[in-house]
Structure 1
Amino acid sequence: MDRIKRLSYEVLAGHKSKFGEDFADNKKVLNQIAIVRSKGLKNEIAGYITNFLKKEMREEKAKQARIESSRTEEIQAEEIDVEITEPEASGEIIEIGVDTTVEETTETTEEKTE
């Protein structure tokens, strides 16, 4: 891990709530809580902290959006959900697939009589 990341994580470990998504504000907060003599190093640390916090916020928003969309899908699935019930027995017997044509039965009886 390079020096900028290490120093940024050390600062964030104790003072994360003081930092935000604005570089200028983060630079001012860094001046208040740490002594960084080099202007360039201070800018790099403040920039890294800013980018890190922005990335965390984007990831959190994406996570919330995924949670919200899954909740919406669950609600829609519940609305569409249909119960499958057995039809009531009415006492009727229905034969399916039985061929009962009159012509075939008369032909077969005529052939048998001859």
Structure 2
Amino acid sequence: MDRIKRLSYEVLDEHKQKFGEDFADNKKILDQIAIIRSKGLKNEIAGYITKFIKKEIRDEKIKQSQIESSKVENYTLQEKISDDDSNEEQVIEIVSEPKSTATEE
């Protein structure tokens, strides 16, 4: 595993709730919880953490929208089924009427 990923996961395991979607804020938080002397390494870790958090949030939003669309689809399907049931009842009523007009002539 890449060094940046490994270090990022180590930090995220213990302090994930502190990080957000903003790189600058994540860099400040990283300064508070870890000692990283190399500016470049700190930036790479903060960048990876930011990317990771954004991806998690995006995936969660996609999952929620899929759940919502599934609920709407199921509701629409139930409405269609109930409409089909009422149409069948109407058809049955129409078919069951006696043909008295043809016998009267």
Q: Give 2:61's aligned residue.
A: 61
Which one-letter code corresponds to 1:26 in the other structure?
N
Which one-letter code corresponds to 2:26 in the other structure?
N
Shift of 1:87: 3.8
Q: Give 1:97's aligned residue.
A: none
TM-score normalised by the chain length of structure 2? 0.80
Query: Equivalences for 1:42-81 in 2 at 5 Å?
Result: 42-81=42-81
CA distance in 2, matches of 1:31, 1:87: 76
Higher helix share: 2
- Structure with higher Rg: it is 1
Which one-letter code corresponds to 1:32 in the other structure?
Q
Deviation sequence 1:93-113 (CA, Å, 0-9, x none) = xxxxxxxxxxxxxxxxxxxxx
CA distance in 1, matches of 2:42, 2:92: 76
Deviation sequence 1:38-82 (CA, Å, 0-9, x none) = 000000000000000001111111111111001000111111112
CA distance in 2, matches of 1:19, 1:57: 12
Q: Give 1:99's aligned residue.
A: none
Q: Give 1:26's aligned residue.
A: 26
Structure 1 vs Structure 2: percent identity of aligned residues? Answer: 67
| SS of 1:59 mapped into structure 2 | helix
Q: Give 1:40's aligned residue.
A: 40
Report the aligned-residue RMSD.
2.0
Unaligned runs of 5+ in 1: 93-114
CA distance in 2, matches of 1:42, 1:70: 42
CA distance in 1, matches of 2:73, 2:8: 40
User: Which runs of at least 4 in structure 1 moved beyond 6 Å after TM superposition?
Assistant: none
Unaligned runs of 5+ in 2: 99-105
Which stretch has the larger CA shift, 21-30 or 76-85?
76-85
CA distance in 1, matches of 2:35, 2:24: 17
